[in-house]
Amino acid sequence: MSTAPEPIPLPVTAVTCLEDRAHVERTTVLDLVAGVQRLRLGPVSALAVDRTLHAELTAEQPATVLDVRIVRTWTPRGPQPADDDSALRRRVR
């Protein structure tokens, strides 16, 4: 089973704003080879939840989506100031 090493970008194609949440649709086109594929798609909001996640596949040949889930990872920042740090944060470090 192959795994994409870097997340595949998912551009936002539609947004529906509701009272307490938003429904965000993202679409991408992929060329896949035969066999089981594991894809990393993102980035998505940390507020995304599994119960609202939906994946749909349209293809000329018969294919099936077996599983869709959100897996969260956290990469801690290094000790050096980042490019987007404020002046005050750079001064503290």
**Dihedral (Cα; 89, 6, 12, 18), 10-degree rounding:** -70
**pTM of full prediction above 0.85:** no
What distance in Å separates the CA atoms of residue 4 and residue 91, rounded to the nearest whole number?
38
State the pairing for strand pair 8-9/41-42: parallel
Pairwise CA distance, residues 89 & 91, whole Å: 5
pLDDT tens per residue, the chain (93 residues)? 555 567 788 888 999 999 988 888 888 888 887 788 888 877 777 788 878 788 888 888 888 888 888 887 777 766 777 778 888 888 876
Domain boundaries, the chain: 1-75
